[in-house]
Structure 1
Amino acid sequence: MADAREAARRADLQLDQPGTVRGWRPTFNPDAVGFYAERIARFLGTGRYLAIQTIIVIVWIAINIAWISLRFDPYPFILLNLAFSTQAAYAAPLILLAQNRQTDRDKVQVEEDRARAAQTRADTEYLARELASLRVAIGELATRDFIRGELDRLAPPDDEAAARRRKERKRKREQQTREAREARENRDKSAD
């Protein structure tokens, strides 16, 4: 055991070997420090903080001007200026830390939004392909109007009025079919 300690001591004395860390080092949880920095930065940006600070400054100046026996910071108010400087020295880094953490959260949110948008786009493209294949499949099927038209064409006319009504219905169906086909073609062209 003593030999091992002696070897470790000799290794520490060698300059070409990295030394071991000795002593006490404080450890900070960056998330906890950032959390408190955000809370402080949020408080510094409120009207409540400004009102409290204004009241403190007014009371400070009133005490140091009006009551001679309580003067602890005469007219140039050097101690008050020192307090403001100290507050500013701590407030600025805390606000920057809070902003950096918010920026990191925003970056993560942007990446998630991009991934969600890419997934949505892929889903939309898949659905568009499926709809196009359904349109092609439906276009090859016999519709009710087509069957009715074929039956009307094959059935002998009862009278001229019935024949005219059938022709009118057939003309309307053909027009509707033509309009539907044109609309489908226009949609297909705009989808490409």
Structure 2
Amino acid sequence: MAERMDTPLEARRRWLDRWRIDPEFFGRVSEGTARFMGTPRFLFYLTVFCALWLGWNSLAPEHLRFDDAALGFTALTLMLSLQASYSSPLILLSQNRQDDRDRIAAEQDRQRAERNLADTEYLAREMAALRTALGEVATRDFVRSELRTLLEELTEEREAGSGHGGDSGAPREPDGRRRV
């Protein structure tokens, strides 16, 4: 062993890599198995298998039977125990993988909710800024009422000016227009 101390650990364990199973592949297989075991089809197949086993070992000629009913169908009991002992860890494995997926999905949902909240707050601030800016801008109705008032004042001045001989004596601009 002393001569191998200069060899890196990964190089010494390469022979184990041949027997290493990809965890993702094993996880997918365990999930598929667990999903199948939870279906009515599996229960039907298992029931038919047990019925055929019991029927064959009870009704077949004595020399063709392989599991004795007098011993309580020991081989069938062992097979069902083996199936149960493998299905329990497979189901737990698939539940752990589902928990991991649920945890990741919950984290992604939380991040998405935070982004949506930030976007909503930003839009609310922008809308408030627009309302404030629009409060300082003259609206169409305001401009119309101002123009209407100005028009009425002009009309009154013309009527007042036409009653005094044509010129009301209002000061004029250099280009000849009357000041209002």
Q: TM-score, normalised by structure 1?
A: 0.69
Q: CA deviation at 1:89?
A: 0.5
> Pick from 70, 80, 85: which aligns with 1:84?
80
Give the structure 1 partner of residue 22 of structure 2.
29
Paired positions, count? 146
Instruction: Give SS of 1:73's match.
Output: coil
Q: CA deviation at 1:23?
A: 8.7
Q: Where does structure 1 differ by over 6 angstroms across 4 or more consecutive aligned residues? A: none
Amino acid at match of 1:113: D
CA distances 1:129-155 after superposition (whole Å, capped 9, x unpaired): 000000000011000111112223333
Q: TM-score, normalised by structure 2?
A: 0.73
1:73 to 2:70 alignment: no
Amino acid at match of 2:139: T
| Consecutive unaligned residues in structure 2, runs of 5 or more | 156-180
Q: Distance in 2 between matches of 1:60 and 1:89?
A: 20
Q: Distance in 2 between matches of 1:90 and 1:79?
A: 17
Q: Distance in 2 between matches of 1:58 and 1:48?
A: 15
Structure exhibiting the larger radius of gyration computed from Cα positions:
2
1:111 to 2:104 alignment: no
For the structure 1 residues 55 and 7, does the alpha-carbon distance in structure 2 shift closer, same or farther, using more than 3 Å as the test? closer
| Consecutive unaligned residues in structure 1, runs of 5 or more | 1-5, 13-17, 159-192
Amino acid at match of 2:111: A
Q: CA deviation at 1:116?
A: 0.8
1:53 to 2:57 alignment: no
Report which stretch shifted further, 61-70 or 49-58.
Answer: 61-70
Structure ranking higher in helix proportion: 1
Structure 2 counterparts to residues 129-144 of structure 1, below 5 A? 129-144=125-140
Q: CA deviation at 1:111?
A: 0.8
Cα RMSD after superposing both structures = 2.5
